[in-house]
Structure 1
Amino acid sequence: MTQCRLCGSEAMASVVDLGATPPCESFLSADQLDQPEPAYPLHLRVCTDCWLAQLPVLITPEETFEEYAYFSSYSTSWVEHARTFVGDAVRQLGLGPAEREAFVVEVASNDGYLLRHLVDRGIRCLGIEPSVNVGAAAREAGVPTLTQFLTPATGTAVREEHGPADLVVANNVYAHIPDVVGFTRGLRALVADDGWVSIEVQHLLTLIEQNQYDTIYHEHFQYYTVASAIRALASGGLALVDVEPLPTHGGSIRLWARPAEAAGEASRRVAEVLDREKAAGLRELSGYTEFSARVAKVRRDLLRFLIEAAERGETVVGYGAPGKGNTLLNHCGIRPDLLPYTVDRNPYKHGRFTPGTRVPVLPPERIAADRPDYVLVLPWNLRAELVEQLSFVHAWGGRLVFPIPELSIVEVKP
């Protein structure tokens, strides 16, 4: 990668090289196991001019998202997060039908996990979702959904048909599009001149501080600080007015933006987070240089644990089959000899195999049937939710293992 996709600079520096892996959501069916499987370099670099961290575009969004294995509604805590957000936004922005006729658009609306709360309130809304299968699930649930990628042309067409949006929501998608400038212009085309845009994205500051390297995968093209997000938003005519730190995905930020002409001054919280990023060295190379060594330690510690458990005759199985888990499994070289299977609540993944490492994905009930000594939790970002869900392993003395930010073995309570 020789050029920054945001500012065009050729001043690109390496952050961490995770080798080559398959696309993280390309789960294999049984009849694909004897077929070739493509793998692509996974090398994160940062632009030392605008400080946007990024991967080269080796896989197009069309290849990743037209048929997608991730359904948001299978995470209880994520659905609750969306419900709370909708309630707060309706109240703070005056979006309820009693106040005025509001219109809300969500980009990358998945299976309608968020917009269904607006449907229940009688608020006019529309989802824009590129994945055919999850968009169909949203429509079946009563959530109006357009199967499209967001471009400036899509945004303009939606505005012409439905009117400008009072609120545009873009949760966990701003990192997923390589054309960050075009996507941002699409957001601006959707939103009313006095409207609001809410974007949730993982915070690069937390990713580096907490060793969250497994959230680096091919469908995440960008990794944002507030400083680089301000630059990205400006490329499409939007200005940042507020930022909220969030616990989701191990540490995210909610960016509140408006059309530049209506934005006004940014909040004090924006300045505070910018100061934190600067203090962490994320606007100079010193903030990135130690990350690769800490990533290598996570790998060594997890492999050592799995090998020693196997030599003691103890069983370790996985819980969850998230995209981040596949980055971890491939980087560490963990195959069924060390992890015979993982389980997942999403039936779409049952009977399939993890990309690259070929670990079988089974229904969650298999854990209680097999009573393993340890359960390796791959969606570590849902720690509180999953410690409660997996409390039943206490019945036979089983323990939970969390690999990030460092190896942690937890004895659960009934």
Structure 2
Amino acid sequence: MAAIEHCRLCAQPLFARPLLVQDDMPAAAQGLPTAEGLDADRGVRLALRQCGGCGLAQLDAEPVPYWRDVIRAAGISPEMRDFRLRQFRAWLDGHGLAGRKVLEVGCGRGEYLSLLAEAGADAHGVEHLEASVDACSAAGLSVERGFVDGPETRLAAGPFDGFMILNFLEHIPTAHLTLQGIAANLADGAVGMVEVPNFDMIVDKGLFAEFIPDHLFYFTEGTLRRLLEANGFEVLDCRAEWHDYVLSAIVRKRAPQDLSGLIGCEAALRASFDDFLGRFEPGRVAIWGAGHQALALISLMGIADRVRYVLDSAPFKQGRYTPATHLPIVAPERLLDGEVDAVIVLAASYSAEVVRQIQARHGERFAIARLDDNRLQTVSPEARPC
């Protein structure tokens, strides 16, 4: 098996020195050799490496050939059944998912999918292994054969209001793409349950025999959170479950940030500019300040045709023009020429100081307004010619 040198999920380099090396290990947890196959069976070397970027511990070898197929060796125990049923019901009730469409990714033969339906969900599954899909169909479960390869994957029963992927993500070499694909098949605001083996517990309890080629990734709470947050989800909760063997994360599909408040602020400020500029003839108002905020506001407020020029005390800006709006940038002494009756001060943290300078040099010659808390505040209400 060829070693890899970069993280499968974030592409940053792995630390050169392995965290752990185990030799002559079983080559796979499935497909045990028969008597006829013993001569061909060979142990393999497992090297656990860590990403220097995201911190994720991972095997540096190729995945087992059946990594898309969920194979549970035996039916779930009565204790596990009771735990899952209580867990699923609490999750469904806590997020308003009872009666709504919930997807299990990698549902196997439907062991958990049937419990999800019993707990009250409109349960659907996706599974790659044909025999497992047939078993689900025979049990009356809604299952699509396939695999969530990436964000381009579309499932027939989607979009879903919730999803779960239980002890499967650690098998998937392109787990980041699978998470993106899950997100692409979810309704807005959908929530999910993501569970993986708990690497923190493995380390804390010294469980050195827990490493198998089937599990490419070994997640701590931190690395699981980082993976989920980098691929379309907010993590609402993450905790150890089932005797600490499992990390269980509750996530929500990330929504675009709502910037309607900014749009409202822009509209309010535009009205404030219109009110002040409306008191003067077009071209009888100057702007003080050629910083990035002032330049943006001149454009966003649509006021260039009502402004004579822009004042700025920085010599390297004088003689130039404002980008996009093409107003001349001039020295503060230009105020002595009598071309304007008002000054709007847009000098950011220097605005109060600039107002004092104008008043000290020109008295009440100019009406003055300044930007304060995203509103244009009138400092001197009227121009009073000397």
TM class, shorter-length: 0.5 to 0.7
Partner of 1:146: 144
Shift in Å, 1:226: 1.9
Partner of 1:399: none
Partner of 1:76: 78
Q: Work out whether 1:58 is the aligned partner of 2:62.
A: yes
Please say which structure displays the higher CA radius of gyration: 2
Q: What is the one-letter code of the residue matched to 1:260?
A: R
List per-residue Cα deviations over 1:211-248 (Å, max 9, x = no partner): 12322111111111122122211332212121122135
Q: Tell me which of 215, 240, 251 is aligned to 1:257.
A: 251
Q: What is the one-letter code of the residue matched to 2:121?
A: I
Shift in Å, 1:73: 2.1
Shift in Å, 1:263: 9.7
SS of residue in 1 equivalent to 2:66: helix
Contact 2:76 2:111 in 1 (8 A): no
Partner of 1:23: 28
Partner of 2:289: none
Partner of 1:88: 90
Partner of 1:345: none
- Give the whole-Å Cα distance in 2 for the aligned partners of 1:80 and 1:121: 11
Shift in Å, 1:173: 1.0
Q: Work out whether 1:170 is the aligned partner of 2:165.
A: yes
Partner of 1:129: 127
Q: Tell me which of 175, 198, 202 is aligned to 1:207.
A: 202
Shift in Å, 1:199: 0.4
Q: Tell me which of 8, 11, 21 is aligned to 1:5.
A: 8
- Give the whole-Å Cα distance in 2 for the aligned partners of 1:47 and 1:153: 24
Partner of 1:402: none
SS of residue in 2 equivalent to 1:152: coil
- Superposed CA RMSD: 2.5
- Give the whole-Å Cα distance in 1 for the aligned partners of 2:175 and 2:105: 14
Shift in Å, 1:254: 0.8
Q: What is the one-letter code of the residue matched to 2:102?
A: V
Q: Work out whether 1:14 is the aligned partner of 2:14.
A: no
Q: Which has the higher helix share?
A: 1
Contact 2:67 2:172 in 1 (8 A): no
Q: Work out whether 1:109 is the aligned partner of 2:100.
A: no
- Give the whole-Å Cα distance in 2 for the aligned partners of 1:183 and 1:209: 29
Q: How do 1:360-375 residues align onto structure 2 when only pairs under 5 Å count? A: none
Q: Are residues 126 and 140 of structure 1, via their aligned partners in 2, closer, same or farther at CA, if it must alter by over 3 Å?
A: same
Comparing 116-125 with 139-148, greater Cα deviation is found at 116-125
Q: What is the one-letter code of the residue matched to 1:63?
A: Y
Q: What is the one-letter code of the residue matched to 1:241?
A: L
- Give the whole-Å Cα distance in 1 for the aligned partners of 2:219 and 2:7: 13
Q: Are residues 252 and 241 of structure 1, via their aligned partners in 2, closer, same or farther at CA, if it must alter by over 3 Å?
A: same
- Give the whole-Å Cα distance in 2 for the aligned partners of 1:198 and 1:262: 21
Partner of 1:383: none
Q: Would you say how many aligned residue pairs link Structure 1 and Structure 2?
A: 253
Partner of 2:40: 36
SS of residue in 1 equivalent to 2:75: helix
- Give the whole-Å Cα distance in 1 for the aligned partners of 2:171 and 2:213: 9
Partner of 2:320: none
Contact 1:82 1:113 in 2 (8 A): no
Q: What is the one-letter code of the residue matched to 1:23?
A: A
Partner of 1:196: 191
| More relative contact order, 1 or 2 (CA 8 Å, 6+ apart) | 1
Which ranges in structure 2 are unaligned for 5 or more consecutive residues? 259-386
List per-residue Cα deviations over 1:340-361 (Å, max 9, x = no partner): xxxxxxxxxxxxxxxxxxxxxx
Contact 1:197 1:257 in 2 (8 A): yes
Q: What is the one-letter code of the residue matched to 1:49?
A: G
Partner of 2:319: none
Q: How do 1:293-304 residues align onto structure 2 when only pairs under 5 Å count? A: none
Shift in Å, 1:69: 5.0
Shift in Å, 1:206: 0.8
- Give the whole-Å Cα distance in 2 for the aligned partners of 1:64 and 1:84: 29
Contact 1:90 1:96 in 2 (8 A): yes
SS of residue in 2 equivalent to 1:78: helix
- Give the whole-Å Cα distance in 1 for the aligned partners of 2:6 and 2:35: 40
- Give the whole-Å Cα distance in 1 for the aligned partners of 2:144 and 2:42: 31
Q: Scaled by the length of structure 2, what TM-score is found?
A: 0.60
- Give the whole-Å Cα distance in 2 for the aligned partners of 1:64 and 1:260: 28
- Give the whole-Å Cα distance in 1 for the aligned partners of 2:78 and 2:257: 34
Q: Tell me which of 165, 182, 186 is aligned to 2:181.
A: 186
Q: What is the one-letter code of the residue matched to 1:138?
A: C
SS of residue in 2 equivalent to 1:3: coil
- Give the whole-Å Cα distance in 2 for the aligned partners of 1:105 and 1:138: 14
SS of residue in 2 equivalent to 1:105: strand
